[in-house]
Structure formats: structure tokens, C-alpha cells
Structure 1
Amino acid sequence: MTNTNFVGTWKLIYWESKTPKGNVSHPMGKNPIGYLTYTEYQHMSATIMRENRPNIDIPPEELIKARQVLLKPWLLINGWKYIKGIFRYLQASTNYISYSGKYEIKGNKVVHHVEVSLIPDWTGTDLERTFEFSSDSRLVLSTPTQDGNHHYLTWERI
């Protein structure tokens, strides 16, 4: 398998998680929004979010101040007005995944070598996905989790 089958941009159609007993859940809701891009030069980028995330309702410059409150807890004395924004920011980040880096094909697996990520623990790691092309325009990536579940993400070429 060459990377030419992967090259392009893909839109997330469906994401489900199955338990060993067959129970199904949807980690980002039933209608997640996401894009996955593979380039011919072995670069990739993935972005996924839950549909209808609530707005943070804080202008960007105020959000920077709220971040400073998080980094310097003693500022909380004057930072109570930022607590709502901090909570919404944390909530927004738990409903969003984004990472990018290089990729390579190994048999029936695509390995994402993560260089940058919203989730700091992923930076510098390899995320291995089993792949299957269900048609010319559909790609299914799957991966097991540590708790025994299995994630299936279905992408459509755009």
C-alpha cells in the first residue's frame, strides 16, 4: 500500500467506540465534526470536535488574562470574573482533539508520528491505526484502547 491512497483531505462521518461486550458509545457525540489531511510528503493533521460546543463568551485578550490566573493562582483574588471563562475553556478543550506530524504506512496500519498536539501527552508519541478502504471515498481507521474498547472512525474523502 502506498501513501497515494491516503493523500487528500477526509471528513469525519462517524466515530464509535465498542466494548468487548458489543456496547456502542460515541466519544464526541453522534455527529462529531472532523477533518484529516494527508500530504504526499508524509505530513498529516487531524482535528475532531463535538458538535454544538458552547461558546466561551470571553474575548481572546481576556482569555489570555484568564490563562494567567490559571498559571498564577494568587491572582485569583482579583480573577473571579475569569472563573466562568476558565471553566468554559476547559470544557471546550475536552470536546476537541487536534494533532499533526509525519505519518508512515506499515502493512495494514498507518502510524501518526505526533509532533504537536492539544493533548500534551501525545506529543512525541506514535499513534497506530489499522486502516481499511471501504470504497474509493471511504477510509475506516480503528484502534484498541487500554480499557479493551475499540474505536472506529469512518472518514470520507472530500
Structure 2
Amino acid sequence: MDLVGAWWLVEWRIAHAGGRISHPFGRDATGLLCYTHDGHMSATVTRAARPPLPGSAAGQAAVQARAEAFASFFCCAGRYEVRDGQVAHDVEMALDPAAAGTTQIHELNFDDDRLILAAAEGGRWHTLIWRRA
């Protein structure tokens, strides 16, 4: 199956040591992953039903709301390359500045109209399942 195109998030789950499963943005998270013919990618994932930010006059509540908005949203963009059953995302920009300049390697699998990306991180196993848009 061809990787190029747009993909909607079905599930992002993390398997922890001991068998516990978590969903970093909730079971109802939404996301869009795009791959272009010329080797660019963009990924966005968000928690569902995020509240709007309060106006700047809200003081400390506005600061806390912005922190929650940051914590409930993920995005990155850059280039990608398929290599031996894996996809490498060379992250050029991201919401989290620490991710910029990194290369994220994911196992790459297809199941009918679904794209499954999986990777180990810090003793946990991330699985992201996407369906073609």
C-alpha cells in the first residue's frame, strides 16, 4: 500500500511495562498525518473537545489554560523516508522544541486501509493506528 496521502488517527496507545495501556490524548483523540510525493510529512494529534483559551485579562487562569492547550496538542513536520519496513521522520519543526532536529523511526505496517506505526520509547511501546482519509 502507498504511504503517500492523508491519514486520520484511529488510536494512539502506549503499552507500559507490566501490561498497562494508556492513551496520551484520550481514547477519542483526533489527528491527521500527511505524506507528500516529494518526501514531506506533517502530523497533528489533539485531545478531543479542547476548550477555547480565555482572554489575556484572565491572568493566571490564562497561563494555566495555555499550558493545558500545549499539553493536549502534538504536531511536527519535516521530511520522511521509507527504509526496510520502517519510516524515518526527520523532524524539522515541532510544537515541542526538543523534538526539532530529531529522527523518529517507526515500524511501518498496513492492515487493509489502515497504517500502523509503532516505536519503542523510554521502556514503553507506542502504537499509532491511522485510516486513509
Q: TM-score range by the shorter chain?
A: over 0.9
Residue 64 of structure 2: SS of its match in structure 1?
helix
Cα RMSD, aligned residues only: 1.3
Instruction: List per-residue Cα deviations over 1:97-136 (Å, max 9, x = no partner).
Output: 000000001111100001110000011110111110011x
Report the equivalent of 1:68: none
Report the equivalent of 2:117: 141
User: Which residue identity is paired with 1:18?
Assistant: A
User: Which residue identity is paired with 1:116?
Assistant: M
Q: TM-score, normalised by structure 2?
A: 0.95
Instruction: Return 5+ residue gaps in structure 2 as ranges.
Output: none
Percent of aligned positions that are identical: 32
User: Which residue identity is paired with 1:141?
Assistant: L
Residue 20 of structure 1: SS of its match in structure 2?
coil
Report the equivalent of 2:29: 32
Report the equivalent of 1:55: 52
User: Which residue identity is paired with 2:125?
Assistant: H
Structure that is richer in strand per residue: 2
Q: TM-score, normalised by structure 1?
A: 0.80
| Runs of 4+ with deviation above 6 angstroms | none
How far, CA to CA, are the matches of 1:36 and 1:30 in structure 2? 17
Residue 59 of structure 2: SS of its match in structure 1?
helix
Residue of 17, 20, 23 corresponding to 2:17: 20
Structure that is richer in helix per residue: 1
User: Residues 7-156 of structure 1 correspond to what in structure 2 (within 5 A)?
Assistant: 7-58=4-55, 62=56, 81-135=58-112, 137-146=113-122, 148-156=123-131
Instruction: Return 5+ residue gaps in structure 1 as ranges.
Output: 63-79
State the shift of 1:5 in Å: 1.1
Q: In the comparison of the two structures, how many residue pairs are matched? A: 133
